[in-house]
């Protein structure tokens, strides 16, 4: 029944997207065959009012009708321009605060249920919500401290959002499986894996204790950084459904006139923003992955304060080195080294030719060096690089795409603050310091220390590994003598999987048929 329910919910979502003109707004002129016919039918079924609105308005109306879980889906897809395209990702990013607020009584109930105390015991006062998004809304409040009352921000989860999201998640997985089955070209993008990533990301985002931990970690990493910080967390008043943190008084980065009126140096803020982001990615391997201007303030001291850390990104040492070396390779025009880094990281399959890949990268890098420095976009360079890697069978790397998306946003904010912003000049000190510290003599010593630690860990595990190897050897000998056999549980699991696969296909066909009947009835 869950598959049937997911099919109907998916059909309803498709109908809403068609009626609100979202499908018609997609670029369908280059399509052929059935997809082209479907796009043309979608244009005919679009509401008259929707035809007159811009695409971002159509998206906003569609997700408002579909509910909070689809707003969250839109926000997640805004982080995947490789899947939906840059233009649609930009439109989806505008949906950050498009939800209506929920009643104060429900917020109080969520706070008391999560913290196990009365609101009057937790806060001196708590006000009406001032902002609402897909998962939560924010209230101003005051708490008692030895120094006197202190203003805080209280983030409260939206009632019922978990249940609604996990119901709709079944529809997302159904759509991803159908896409992989019927659109072979999309398999490189791994839609099922993307859906799994979204599910995990949202589970984390809907537990405010984990967001609080992200604030704490980023706060520790940036404690001594110039010009950047995050709010402090009030752990006593933080639980799964509520997050209490420092109130930030400042000017949002999207209020350019307000920043000028306050006397801030916009060029310095732009440089601080980009250098801070690069430090977080290269030095710490942990970065704020939703740095749109609505999530960043400039306080009275001129420091950038980043909020809403529900989405964060991590890079391992391999990814940090990959990013630094490709940026440095483009700066120095060492295209062969950029190509070698891709192969060393395992991002491009070994059966491809390194020199041919270097040639493709040169086609990206050479036009850049003929332009004025302030017109060169590092984010655009990474976008072009990932487009070229598609030709060489490089599969989607979620951690790199999230990095790319965030860099696009950060660079865009910096250029809004300073139209003549020189990305390369600003980035060079941070990238250069990382290269010197990690690929020079000190870097070799660090790698040697890490290698020695790994050898010691392997030595401690030697008895267990030896026992496992002996057991595996016996199992291989038995398999060679008796052949490969399935136990009863494995056979039943295979049978159930095949039956479920066939049943899902039949259900999808019935839902499509019923949807067509419903559409025809609506048109009568």
Residue 391 above 80 pLDDT? no
Which has the higher per-residue pLDDT, 255 or 401?
255
Q: How many residues does the chain have?
A: 524
Task: Please tell me whether residue 79 adopts helix, strand or coil conformation.
Answer: coil
The model's confidence at residue 17, banded by pLDDT at 50, 70 and 90, is confident
Tokens of 505: 């296909």
Catalytic residue among 168, 207, 234, 290: 290
Determine what percent of the chain is predicted with pLDDT higher than 90: 27
> pLDDT per residue over 128-167, tens digit each?
999 888 789 999 999 999 999 999 999 999 998 888 887 7
Which has the higher per-residue pLDDT, 475 or 245?
245
Among 164, 160, 145, smallest CA distance to 244 is for 145
CB of 237 closer than 8 Å to CB of 156: no
Task: Please tell me whether residue 516 adopts helix, strand or coil conformation.
Answer: helix
Residue 341 above 90 pLDDT? no
The model's confidence at residue 286, banded by pLDDT at 50, 70 and 90, is very high
Residue 484 above 60 pLDDT? no
Distances (CA, A) of 181 to 64, 69, 84, 187, 507: 30, 25, 18, 8, 15
Instruction: State the average pLDDT for the chain.
Output: 77
> pLDDT per residue over 49-93, tens digit each?
656 665 556 666 677 677 666 776 666 666 555 555 566 666 666
The b/e string for 383-422 (b: 16+ C-beta within 10 A; e otherwise) is: bbbbeebeebebebbbbbbbbbbbbbbbbebbbebbeebb
Among 120, 159, 150, smallest CA distance to 231 is for 150
The b/e string for 262-299 (b: 16+ C-beta within 10 A; e otherwise) is: eeeebeebbbbbbbbbbbbbbbbbbbbbbbbbbbbbbe
Interaxial angle between packed helices 161-182 and 68-77, expressed in degrees from 0 to 180 and rounded to the nearest 10: 50
Task: Please tell me whether residue 306 adopts helix, strand or coil conformation.
Answer: strand
Of 23-27, 214-218, 424-428, 504-508, where does the model show the most confidence? 214-218
The model's confidence at residue 1, banded by pLDDT at 50, 70 and 90, is very low
- C-alpha angle 322/324/327, rounded to 5°? 105
pTM of the model: 0.71
Q: Is residue 290 annotated as part of the catalytic site, yes or no?
A: yes
Query: What is the pLDDT at residue 439?
Result: 66
- The overall longest dimension of the chain from CA atoms, in Å, is 82
CB of 126 closer than 8 Å to CB of 141: yes
> pLDDT per residue over 32-48, tens digit each?
666 677 777 777 777 77
Among 104-113, 114-123, 163-172, 383-392, the least confident range: 383-392
């Amino acid at each position: 029944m869950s598959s049937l329910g997911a099919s109907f919910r998916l059909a309803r979502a498709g109908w809403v997207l068609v009626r609100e003109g979202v499908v018609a707004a997609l670029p369908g002129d280059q399509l052929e065959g059935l997809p082209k016919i479907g796009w043309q039918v979608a244009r005919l079924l679009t509401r008259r009012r929707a035809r007159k609105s811009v695409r971002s308005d159509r998206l906003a109306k569609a997700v408002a009708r579909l509910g909070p879980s689809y707003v969250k889906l839109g926000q997640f897809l805004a982080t995947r321009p490789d899947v939906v395209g840059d233009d649609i990702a930009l439109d989806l990013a505008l949906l950050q605060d498009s939800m209506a607020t929920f009643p104060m009584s429900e917020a109080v109930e969520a706070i008391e249920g999560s913290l196990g105390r009365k609101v009057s015991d937790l806060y001196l006062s708590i006000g009406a919500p001032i902002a609402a998004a897909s998962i939560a809304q924010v209230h101003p409040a005051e708490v008692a401290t030895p120094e006197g009352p202190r203003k805080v921000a209280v983030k409260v989860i939206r009632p019922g959002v978990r249940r609604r999201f996990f119901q709709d998640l079944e529809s997302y997985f159904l759509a991803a499986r159908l896409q992989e089955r019927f659109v072979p070209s999309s398999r490189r993008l791994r839609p099922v894996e993307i859906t799994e990533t979204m599910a995990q990301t949202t589970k984390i985002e809907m537990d405010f204790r984990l967001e609080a931990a992200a604030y704490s970690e980023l706060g520790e990493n940036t404690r001594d950084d110039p010009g950047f910080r995050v709010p402090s967390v009030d752990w006593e008043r933080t639980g799964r459904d509520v997050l209490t943190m420092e109130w930030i008084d400042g000017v949002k980065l999207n209020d350019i006139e307000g920043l000028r009126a306050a006397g801030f140096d916009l060029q310095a803020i732009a440089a601080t923003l980009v250098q801070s982001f690069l430090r977080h990615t290269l030095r710490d391997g942990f970065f704020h992955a939703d740095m749109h201007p609505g999530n960043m303030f400039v306080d009275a001291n001129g420091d950038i304060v980043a909020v809403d850390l529900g989405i964060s990104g991590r890079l391992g040492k391999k990814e940090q080195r990959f990013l630094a070396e490709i940026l440095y390779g483009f700066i120095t025009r060492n295209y062969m080294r950029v190509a070698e880094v891709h192969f060393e990281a395992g991002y491009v399959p070994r059966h491809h030719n390194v020199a041919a890949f270097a040639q493709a990268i040169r086609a990206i890098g050479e036009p850049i060096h003929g332009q004025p420095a302030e017109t060169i976009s590092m984010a655009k360079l990474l976008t072009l690089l990932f487009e070229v890697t598609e030709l060489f069978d490089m599969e989607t790397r979620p951690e790199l795409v999230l990095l790319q998306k965030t860099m696009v946003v950060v660079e865009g904010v910096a250029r809004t603050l300073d139209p003549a912003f020189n990305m390369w000049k600003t980035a060079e000190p941070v990238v250069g310091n990382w290269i010197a510290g990690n690929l020079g003599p000190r870097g070799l010593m660090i790698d040697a220390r890490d290698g020695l630690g790994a050898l010691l860990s392997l030595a401690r595990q030697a008895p267990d590994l030896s026992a496992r190897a002996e057991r595996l050897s016996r199992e291989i000998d038995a398999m060679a003598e008796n052949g490969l056999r399935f136990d009863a549980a494995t056979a039943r699991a295979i049978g159930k999987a095949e039956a479920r696969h066939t049943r899902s296909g039949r259900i999808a066909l019935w839902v499509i048929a019923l949807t067509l009947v419903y559409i025809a009835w609506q048109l009568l």
